[in-house]
Amino acid sequence: MPSDHQLAVEPRAGSGKGHARKLRAAGRIPAVCYSPGSAATAIQLDPKALDRLLHKSSAGMNTLIDLSGGGLDGKVVLVKELQRDPVMGVLLHADLFAVDVDKPIEVKVPVRIVGTPLGVTFGGGILDFPLREIEVLCLPRAIPEELQIEVGQLQVGDSIHVRDIALPAGVELMSDPELSVVSVVLPAKEEEGAPVEAVAVEGEEGAVPAEGAAPAADEGEESEKE
């Protein structure tokens, strides 16, 4: 069944940095669609259309996209990697991965923390949030948009581990269950070394951005993917 997230693509015959620059000048970008058991397909697409699609979807990079055109009609894909200009932030290249909606796939799902720990409010602690994505296995149409964890009752010294996160039905944990997701710790003293890297708790909720685009390569050093 087609989704509300549809993207038109076109075949791409050329390759290399010169061809990519011409495409971008015409308002297109080079892209590649990988399909299990078959060769990658070189395509081109409208970067603004892809950006709009990802930003309007609450699933972000885990948005299932129905392709049309470019010999890929009916393909359902996930965005596996985005290359962006490091200065302007515009899209330069996209890697799409075709999925079988009837077969489980492994994906990373963002973690959202909810609440302000007691150990922060009253104990002088800070919230250390080292693990912001959890790897899970599930059917493509069952991918959770996010995994929420309530941190309001955490005291200084308390932690929440991967094993403590409740997963929806049909979703299997793939990350190491012993990994710490969040902890409430006391700030490190300067003479004891560098301060603990931690996140500030803003209001009642700390959010992790849904989109996780990969760092862009410098256009002058970009190697065209096929």
Query: Given this model, what pLDDT does residue 151 score?
Result: 97
Residue 87 bridge partners (DSSP): none
Residue 3: pLDDT band (50, 70, 90) is low
C-alpha of 187 from chain center: 30
Query: Given this model, what pLDDT does residue 35 score?
Result: 84
pLDDT digits (tens, 9 = 90+) for 155-203: 999 999 999 999 999 999 999 999 999 999 999 875 444 544 455 454 4
Please say if the pLDDT value at position 221 is more than 60. no
Which is nearest to 93 in space by CA: 40, 52, 32? Answer: 32
Query: Given this model, what pLDDT does residue 207 score?
Result: 37
What is the 3-state secondary structure of the chain? Answer: CCCCCEEEEEECCCCHHHHHHHHHHCCCEEEEEEECCEEEEEEEECHHHHHHHHHHCCCHHHCCEEEECCCCCCCEEEEEEEEECCCCCCEEEEEEEECCCCCCEEEEEEEEEECCCHHHHCCCCEEECCCCEEEEEECHHHCCCCEEEECCCCCCCCEEEHHHCCCCCCCEECCCCCCEEEEEECCCCHHHCCCCCCECCCCCEECCCCCCCCCCCCHHHCCCCC
Please say if the pLDDT value at position 148 is more than 80. yes
